[in-house]
């Protein structure tokens, strides 16, 4: 038996999903264990083995591979919890990363912040100036060596950084994406002086034009590279001791995995790896259900995440932003806010109720966990409202204390606002649904789509409790909760569904019409690099797929769009069609008439994406079919539940998902309890179970 396992390490819980070649899918959930998250991974894997009725060693000996996603890299960057890093760049260009070009004024800022020009500050320096040094060298825009590398001066700079105690060195030289020879030589010099020093080269991490973005991406990759290397090395060592047969893969933000030994080399590509797992899981499920347009929503313990699938393909981006700095790596486009189940409710200076972005996380956790937390959270509100069972989470393994939840809400929210505890809890629930709805509106509408054309997929530990309401906020009529064993661990299901995906890039700015021979040479070079890299992954693939694209823009504009280009021989007509596609897509995104073809079109960056398709990926097994729609045999009783502050508490039917079958219909209001999550079917909706065990919620 060959197993595939996805392991998703979140800020609050660690999830794991296992499937096999016969269609078995099981899931497990265990509290995350900061600072050593590997303990939580092993705990979750042991729970999977327990369900199989085998030992951990026996399960791992039959495992084809483990796909692992973690928020640790992202959290480290966001919170600035990174080691000291050195930076080497071309003489005269050190201050680029502090000046931040004009981008430092607008990247990562809301519309209100952009209008407040006087209040804008560039306060997010990636490293102190004492750690940023220069080397004497110069390569021109065509890749020609104009000034040879002064190796003696470079050694002096390297020794200064080593003496300052840096744990990694980032190297980003001018025009190195055209010719990386000087960056590669500097790495050799670093290892002559400090053999174990982690080194990140911009020509490998982000070989794109634009100096500031390339340097920032390389520095951040160096900041998380050593920690990722050490963590993955220790985790893989532990897994090998437990007889893991196949490789450990690490999810990347581009929606595909990479072998663990390869991941630290371009560590920045793993930022957001957990965020993309849910989108990939949704893509897998949407193919089974025949859904082309999907909003994937994941409400975990810490964050609310939303990503799009449009016309059967996940929406991708070439850049993301952290702390006002650009990260130039291919990624699935996922929007996030701190509004998970553990998000803390608080009152601002204006007396307004706010939810998040701070979270109680796994430690100390929400007040109802009884682990010392005193701040009220979404989970505390849901317990007071009757949405969560007092018997606890994880099938009763995680006990909940309702009185502690009530006390936290009373002292921090209810009394300051002059409300009862129940009214305050209902207000927290309403605000949570409203602000998650706002993120969906931003995700869908601002991308030029109509929400009514989409179906919401809702998962994560808290997503099923809120999904019907936040979907209604944006006018989506159909919600699918992927139940069975995977509802709250759906991102881990996505990890187990992922293939190996590698991307190579090359910036070669030129005006349209393009030279077909030069474009084909660029793509051939990138394909050779990508195929060589995928051969190092240690896996046998069912198929290897190659995709090409070119980032294009109107001349002198900033907005670039990735344009698909067919494989094989290129000619003038094919490249002209690509330019026409860009013109049409620009109008779709920004409005008819916003483009100006007369200004000309430029091709900026060429990209090749190679996908190694793994032998099998998980599919939800079919569910037994009910004799009719009546689901009363799955009812376990009733309890007072408040889903609407105006309606108050209503005696609500409670269902055990494990007793439901395909074809059962559940009229709202109802609560469906799954060992790892709780689903709310509001009073004005109806739920039904499909052939795979998914719950579909629609308005009456």
pLDDT tens string 552-578: 999 988 889 999 999 999 999 999 999
Residue 695: pLDDT over 90: yes
Confidence check: pLDDT of 59 > 80: yes
Q: Residue 294: CB partners within 8 Å, gap ≥ 6?
A: 282, 283, 286, 308, 309, 454, 455, 456, 457
Q: What confidence tier does 108 reach under pLDDT thresholds 50, 70, 90? A: low
For residue 495, being part of any structural domain is answered with no
Peptide bond just before 669 cis, omega within 30 deg: yes
Question: Do 267 and 281 belong to one domain?
Answer: no
**Structural domain that includes position 528:** 500-613
At residue 242, the pLDDT reads 96
Q: Domain holding 557: CATH number?
A: 3.30.1490
Cα 632 to its chain centre, rounded Å, is 39
CA dihedral of 162, 168, 174, 180, whole degrees rounded to 10: 110
Distance CA 285, CA 279 (A): 10
The pLDDT value recorded for residue 163 is: 96
Q: What is the pLDDT of residue 80?
A: 72
Same domain membership, residue 100 and residue 148:
yes
Instruction: Give one word for 374, left, alpha or beta, with left for phi > 0 and alpha for psi -120 to 50.
Output: alpha
Nearest alpha carbon to residue 551 among 212, 312, 317:
317
Residue ending a domain, choose from 444, 476, 508: 476
> Is residue 292 domain-shared with residue 423, that is, in the same domain?
yes
Instruction: Answer whether residue 217 shows pLDDT above 90.
Output: yes
pLDDT at 677: 84
Higher pLDDT, 98 or 361: 98
Where is pLDDT greater, at 102 or 445? 445
Which pair of tokens denotes residue 137? 């060298």
pLDDT for the residue 23: 73
Does residue 481 fall inside a structural domain?
no
Q: What is the pTM of this model?
A: 0.83
Q: Are residues 86 and 175 in the same domain?
A: yes
Q: What is the pLDDT of residues 309-318, one digit of tens each?
A: 999 989 888 8
- The answer to whether residue 618 sits within a structural domain is no
- pLDDT confidence of 155, banded at 50, 70, 90? very high
In the chain, how many domains are there? 5
**CA gap 659, 692 in Å, rounded:** 14
Residues 401, 298 within the same domain: yes
Angle, helices 490-497 vs 273-289, to 10°: value is 80
Residue 526 lies in a domain: yes
pLDDT digit string, tens, across residues 358-385? 888 777 888 998 888 889 999 999 999 9
Tell me the three state secondary structure of residue 23.
Answer: coil
At 332 the pLDDT is: 85
Q: Give every CB contact of residue 555 below 8 A, 6+ residues apart in sequence.
A: 511, 599, 600, 601, 602
Q: What is the pLDDT of residue 417?
A: 94
HEC sequence for 357-394: EEECCCCCCCHHHCCCCCCCEHHHHHHHCCCCCCCCEH
Instruction: Note whether 327 and 317 are same-domain residues.
Output: yes
Q: If you count them, how many residues does the chain have?
A: 700
Q: Is 48 contained in some domain?
A: yes
- Indicate if 650 and 608 belong to the same structural domain: no
- Contact assessment for residue 507 and residue 602, using Cβ atoms and an 8 Å cutoff: no
CA–CA distance, 28 with 64 (Å, rounded to integer) = 19
Residues 6 or more apart in contact with residue 41 via CB below 8 angstroms: 7, 9, 14, 16, 68, 235
CB 691 within 8 A of CB 660: no
Query: What's the mean pLDDT in 83-112?
Result: 84
Strand, coil or helix: 633? helix
Interval 590-619: pLDDT, tens: 888 888 888 999 999 999 999 999 877 667
Distance, CA of 127 to CA of 537 (rounded, Å): 33
Residues 555, 678 share a domain: no
- CB of 149 closer than 8 Å to CB of 185: yes
Q: Which two tokens stand for residue 215?
A: 């340097």
Same domain, 429 and 556: no
Predicted confidence at residue 284, as pLDDT, reads: 87
Indicate if the pLDDT at residue 79 is higher than 70. no
Between CA 429 and CA 244 the distance in angstroms is 43
DSSP 267: G
Average pLDDT over residues 501-507: 92
pLDDT tens string 22-38: 777 888 888 888 888 89
Domain end marker among 238, 273, 308:
273
Q: What is the DSSP letter of 331?
A: E
Other C-beta atoms lying within 10 Å of the C-beta of residue 90: 21
Please indicate, yes or no, whether residues 260 and 279 belong to a single structural domain of this protein: no
Please tell me the predicted confidence (pLDDT) of residue 405: 93
Backbone angles phi, psi at 48, to 5 degrees: -65, -45
pLDDT at 392: 66
Residue 608 inside a domain? The answer is yes
Q: What is the mean pLDDT of residues 516-544?
A: 92
Helices (H) and strands (E) in the chain, counts: 18, 35
**Greatest mean pLDDT among 182-191, 207-216, 421-430:** 182-191
Please state, rounded to an integer, the average pLDDT across all residues of the chain. 89
Q: What is the CATH number of the domain that holds 399?
A: 3.30.420
Same domain, 283 and 421: yes
pLDDT above 80 for 439: yes
382 with 445, same domain?
Answer: yes
pLDDT at 638: 94
Q: In angstroms, rounded to a whole number, what is the distance separating the alpha carbons of residues 374 and 73?
A: 28
- CATH number of the domain where residue 238 is located: 3.30.420.40
Residue 171 contacts residue 158 (beta carbons within 8 Å): no
Range from 65-74, 160-169, 678-687 carrying the lowest mean pLDDT:
65-74
In a domain, residue 619? The reply is no
Is residue 627 domain-resident?
no
The predicted model gives 62-73 an average pLDDT of: 86
């Amino acid at each position: 038996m060959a197993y595939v396992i996805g392991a998703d390490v979140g800020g609050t819980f660690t999830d794991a999903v296992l499937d096999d070649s016969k269609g078995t899918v099981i899931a497990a959930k265990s509290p995350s264990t900061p600072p050593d998250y590997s303990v939580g991974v092993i705990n979750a894997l042991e729970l999977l083995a327990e369900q199989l009725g085998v030992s951990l060693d026996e399960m791992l000996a039959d495992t084809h591979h483990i796909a692992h996603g973690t928020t640790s890299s992202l959290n480290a960057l966001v919170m600035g919890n990174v080691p000291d890093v050195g930076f080497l760049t071309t003489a005269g260009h050190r201050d680029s990363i502090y000046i931040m070009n004009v981008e430092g004024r607008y990247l990562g800022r809301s519309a209100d912040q952009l209008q407040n020009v006087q209040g804008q500050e560039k306060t997010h320096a990636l490293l102190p100036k004492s750690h940023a040094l220069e080397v004497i060298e110069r390569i021109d825009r065509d890749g020609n060596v104009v000034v040879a590398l002064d190796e003696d001066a470079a050694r002096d700079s390297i020794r200064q950084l080593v003496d300052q105690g840096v744990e990694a060195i980032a190297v980003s030289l001018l025009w190195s994406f055209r010719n990386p020879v000087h960056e590669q030589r500097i790495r050799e010099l670093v290892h002559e002086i400090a053999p174990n020093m982690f080194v990140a080269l911009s020509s490998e991490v982000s070989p794109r034009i634009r100096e500031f973005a390339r340097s920032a991406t390389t520095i951040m990759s160096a900041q998380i590279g050593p920690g990722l290397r050490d963590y993955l090395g220790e985790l893989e060592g532990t897994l090998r001791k437990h007889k893991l047969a196949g490789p450990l893969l690490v999810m990347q933000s581009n929606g595909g995995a990479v072998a663990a030994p390869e991941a630290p080399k371009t560590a920045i590509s793993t930022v957001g790896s957990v965020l993309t797992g849910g989108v990939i899981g949704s893509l897998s499920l949407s193919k089974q259900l025949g859904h082309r347009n999907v909003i994937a929503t994941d409400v975990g313990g810490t964050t609310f995440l939303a990503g799009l699938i449009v016309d059967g393909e996940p929406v991708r981006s070439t850049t993301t932003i952290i702390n006002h700095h650009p990260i130039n790596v291919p990624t699935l486009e996922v929007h996030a806010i701190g509004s998970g189940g553990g998000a803390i409710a608080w009152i601002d200076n204006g007396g307004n109720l706010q939810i998040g972005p701070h979270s109680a996380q796994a430690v100390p956790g929400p007040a109802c966990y009884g682990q010392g937390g005193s701040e009220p959270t979404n989970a505390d509100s849901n317990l007071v409202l009757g949405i969560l069972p007092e018997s606890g989470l994880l099938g009763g393994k995680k006990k909940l204390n309702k009185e502690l939840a009530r006390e936290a809400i009373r002292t921090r929210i209810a009394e300051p606002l002059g409300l009862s505890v129940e009214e305050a809890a209902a207000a927290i629930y309403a605000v949570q649904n409203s602000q998650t709805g706002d993120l969906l509106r931003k995700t869908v509408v601002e991308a030029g789509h109509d929400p009514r054309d989409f179906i919401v997929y809702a998962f994560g530990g808290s997503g099923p409790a809120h999904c019907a309401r936040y979907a209604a906020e944006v006018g989506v009529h159909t919600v699918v909760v992927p139940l069975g064993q995977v509802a709250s661990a759906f991102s881990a299901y996505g990890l187990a569904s992922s293939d190996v995906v590698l991307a190579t890039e090359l910036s070669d700015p030129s005006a349209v019409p393009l030279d077909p021979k030069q474009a084909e040479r660029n793509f051939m070079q990138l394909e050779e690099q990508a195929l060589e890299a995928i051969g190092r992954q240690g896996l046998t693939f069912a198929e290897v797929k190659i995709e090409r694209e070119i980032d294009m823009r109107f001349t002198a504009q900033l907005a670039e769009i990735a344009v698909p280009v067919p494989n094989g021989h290129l000619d003038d007509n094919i490249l002209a069609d690509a330019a026409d596609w860009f013109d049409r897509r620009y109008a779709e995104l920004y409005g008819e008439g916003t483009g100006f073809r007369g200004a000309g079109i430029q091709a900026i960056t060429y990209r090749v994406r190679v996908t190694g398709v793994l032998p099998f990926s998980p599919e939800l097994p079919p569910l037994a079919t009910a004799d009719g729609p009546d689901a009363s045999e799955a009812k376990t009783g009733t309890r007072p539940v408040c889903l609407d502050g105006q309606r108050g508490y209503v005696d609500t039917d409670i269902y055990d998902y494990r007793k439901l079958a395909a074809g059962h219909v559940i009229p709202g209001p109802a609560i469906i309890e799954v060992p790892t999550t709780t689903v709310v079917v509001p009073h004005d909706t109806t739920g039904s179970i499909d052939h795979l065990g998914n719950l579909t919620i629609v308005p009456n």
